[in-house]
Amino acid sequence: MSKQRLNIIKIITMILIVASLIISGKAFLAHRNYKEAVVAGPSVTEVKTLGDYFAPLKGSVADCNIYILDSGKPGGTIFLIGGSHPEEPATNLTAEIFAENAVLKQGKLIIAIRANRSASTVTRPGDAYPQFYNIKTDWGTKKFRMGDRWSNPLDSWPDPEVYVHYPSKQMLAYMDIRNINRTWPGKKDGSITEQICYGFMNVIKEENVDLFIDLHEAELEYPVISTIVAHESGQNIAAMASMMLTDMEFAEPIGIEFSPKSLHGLSHREIGDHSDAVSLLFETPEPFLDRVRGVTDERLLLEGKDPFVMRAGKFGLLYESIDEDGWPIDVRVGRHCSTTLMVSQIWNQTNPGKGVIIENIPKYADVIDNGVGHYFKNPDEAVAEKVFYE
Amino acid sequence: MGILNTVIEFSYYLLSAFIAFVLIREIYKTENYQEAVLYSVILVPFILRILRIK
């Protein structure tokens, strides 16, 4: 090949590479910097950030909003977090429904919609994840960032060869040093994800949290699904909630799992062990996460229908049933809303004087009837002081 | 611990910059067009990481 022809190929290649860098770079930056508007609900009395509880995080990518809903009437305190794993959208959508709608009649409710903000600023292009998803509301379409299970490598890099959990010293998978549900109870001078958990532990201690709820979703191939995972201190509440919801509300049952004592870093284990709070974790099914799924797009994320996952079910490879109706986002969010309400109701019955009475939150059947979007407020019509950005 | 993490992270950015430099030099020097295309593709993630975009 002549020198001139070689140079032409090199120049064309570099032009194509620079063009792809610009196009992909713009898309990545747009996703990382996209802000979701949240209209603080009627009972939100204060909006702090995680940095208010752990100063090193102030102003950082991990500095998520902490919504405080205080009834002014003495009672208990419930702390609800969504977005631990931002690839599980029913979690942040549920937390946002609570932040925008809940009316507190007694006690205090604290909410983090995007518990791991860093993980919500990155997706998995190699797994064909969409960057955003859109929810239809009564006033238009609301756009949300899709995220990943792990904190953004831009905020925590490189991973160690082996992640040694603090303080148990248990050895875990290397990438789980960026997994917020493997870094509890956190470490003051650790990685950013360990610091996030340390910050949340400060919230739990400073706000005297009585009941902690961590929202999640799981693939149907995973055995811990459609369940409440409970620390020993919360087993009675979880068992009662599981029975009540299965009997009275849900089309498909919700179970209970005991938090394993020897598996460290998970919220249901470490928060119960390192604070006075009762710790529970809720799981709903999300076919989007299954490894055997087909086309990976926004439709699968929101409708939860996939023929390949269904086929896996026919071969008995799943831990949850799935049919042509799939697991739509309305069903998943509805289950999280009802489970949270039921758990708080049982908490109130079993802890007189420490009640947290939450009203104006839709139950399972309401969310299915009206759709998730029905419960989101229009930020353009809200007073500016009431609008916060995630 | 925090300082050590920062030092390690910074050294990884230096390593990425060095690898990007070597790739660019090889793209310039090679007389095989397939190698030039291959090195260009490999270069993309290093540039995105050095610029802290991805």
Condensed to tens digits (0 to 9), the pLDDT of residues A19-65 reads 999 999 999 999 999 999 999 999 999 999 999 999 999 999 999 99
For residue A208, report the phi and psi dihedrals to the nearest 5 degrees: 50, 55
Contact A189 B37 (CB under 8 A): no
CA-CA distance, A342 to A3, in Å (whole number)?
Answer: 74
CA-CA distance, A315 to B4, in Å (whole number)?
Answer: 50
Select from A165, A161, A168 the least CA-distant residue to A180: A165
CA-CA distance, B40 to A59, in Å (whole number)?
Answer: 36
Number of domains in chain A: 1
Of B37, B48, B53, the CB nearest to A13: B37
Residues 6 or more apart in contact with residue A199 via CB below 8 angstroms: A50, A51, A53, A54, A57, A62, A186
Task: Pick the residue from chain A with its C-alpha nearest to B36.
Answer: A10
Contact A158 B9 (CB under 8 A): yes
User: Does A158 lie at the interface with B, CB-CB under 8 angstroms?
Assistant: yes
Residues A226/A246, Cβ–Cβ less than 8 Å: no
Domain limits, chain B:
18-54
Residue numbers in B near A3 (CB within 8 A) = 31
Contact A20 B44 (CB under 8 A): yes
Own/partner pairs for A171-175, CB < 8 Å, 24+ apart? A172/A264, A172/A265, A175/A150
Task: Pick the residue from chain B with its C-alpha nearest to A27.
Answer: B53
Q: What angle do CA B33, B37, B43 make, to 5 degrees?
A: 140
What's the pLDDT at B18? 98
CA-CA distance, A136 to A313, in Å (whole number)?
Answer: 30
Residue A13, helix vs strand vs coil: helix
Q: What is the CATH number of the domain that holds A360?
A: 3.40.630
Minimal Cα–Cα distance from B53 to chain A, Å?
6
Domain for residue A369, yes or no? yes
CA-CA distance, B49 to A65, in Å (whole number)?
Answer: 28
Residues 6 or more apart in contact with residue A279 via CB below 8 angstroms: A212, A214, A230, A231, A233, A234, A259, A267, A268, A269, A270, A271, A272
What's the pLDDT at B1? 67
Contact B33 A9 (CB under 8 A): yes
Residues A189/A217, Cβ–Cβ less than 8 Å: no
CA-based torsion, A372, A378, A382, A387: positive or negative: positive
User: Does A167 lie at the interface with B, CB-CB under 8 angstroms?
Assistant: no
Q: B7: exposed, middle or buried (C-beta count within 10 Å: 0-12, 13-18, 19+)? A: exposed
Structure confidence at residue B2 as a pLDDT band (50, 70, 90): confident
What's the pLDDT at A377? 98
Contact B43 A189 (CB under 8 A): no
- Tens-binned pLDDT, residue by residue, of chain A (390 aa): 788 999 999 999 999 999 999 999 999 999 999 999 999 999 999 999 999 999 999 999 999 999 999 999 999 999 999 999 999 999 999 999 999 999 999 999 999 999 999 999 999 989 999 999 999 999 999 999 999 999 999 999 999 999 999 999 999 999 999 999 999 999 999 999 999 999 999 999 999 999 999 999 999 999 999 999 999 999 999 999 999 999 999 999 999 999 999 999 999 999 999 999 999 999 999 999 999 999 999 999 999 999 999 999 999 999 999 999 999 999 999 999 999 999 999 999 999 999 999 999 999 999 999 999 999 999 999 999 999 999
Residue numbers in B near A191 (CB within 8 A) = 5
Chain B interface test: which of A57, A118, A154, A174 (most B C-beta within 10 Å): A154
Contact A17 B41 (CB under 8 A): yes
Residue numbers in B near A29 (CB within 8 A) = 53
Contact A21 B2 (CB under 8 A): no
Residues A7/A116, Cβ–Cβ less than 8 Å: no
Task: Pick the residue from chain A with its C-alpha nearest to B8.
Answer: A158
User: Does A384 lie at the interface with B, CB-CB under 8 angstroms?
Assistant: no
Select from A215, A210, A229, A216 the least CA-distant residue to A268: A229
Chain B interface test: which of A13, A154, A156 (most B C-beta within 10 Å): A13
Size of interface A-B (CB pairs under 8 A): 52
Select from A334, A336, A289 the least CA-distant residue to A309: A289
For residue A109, report the phi and psi dihedrals to the nearest 5 degrees: -125, 130
Structure confidence at residue B3 as a pLDDT band (50, 70, 90): confident
β-strand A227-230 against A278-285: which pairing, if any?
antiparallel
Residues 6 or more apart in contact with residue A2 via CB below 8 angstroms: none
Residues 6 or more apart in contact with residue B44 via CB below 8 angstroms: A17, A20, A21, A24
Minimal Cα–Cα distance from B19 to chain A, Å?
16
Select from A136, A153, A123 the least CA-distant residue to A288: A123
- Angle subtended by helix axes B33-50 and A3-33, to nearest 10: 20
For residue A151, report the phi and psi dihedrals to the nearest 5 degrees: -60, 155
Residues A108/A347, Cβ–Cβ less than 8 Å: no
Residue A8, helix vs strand vs coil: helix
Minimal Cα–Cα distance from A114 to chain B, Å?
20
For residue A376, report the phi and psi dihedrals to the nearest 5 degrees: -95, 135
CA-CA distance, A67 to A388, in Å (whole number)?
Answer: 10
Chain A interface test: which of B3, B4, B5, B42 (most A C-beta within 10 Å): B5
> A127: which DSSP letter?
G
β-bridge mates for residue A141, sequence order: A136
Q: Which amino acid is at A96?
A: E
Domain for residue A28, yes or no? no
The helix or strand, by DSSP H or E, that contains position A49, with its residue range, turns out to be strand A44-49
Q: Could you tell me the residue range of the domain that residue A46 belongs to?
A: 34-389
Domain for residue A384, yes or no? yes
Select from A66, A40, A104 the least CA-distant residue to A376: A40
Q: Is the pTM of this model over 0.95?
A: yes
Residue numbers in B near A129 (CB within 8 A) = none
Contact A13 B40 (CB under 8 A): yes
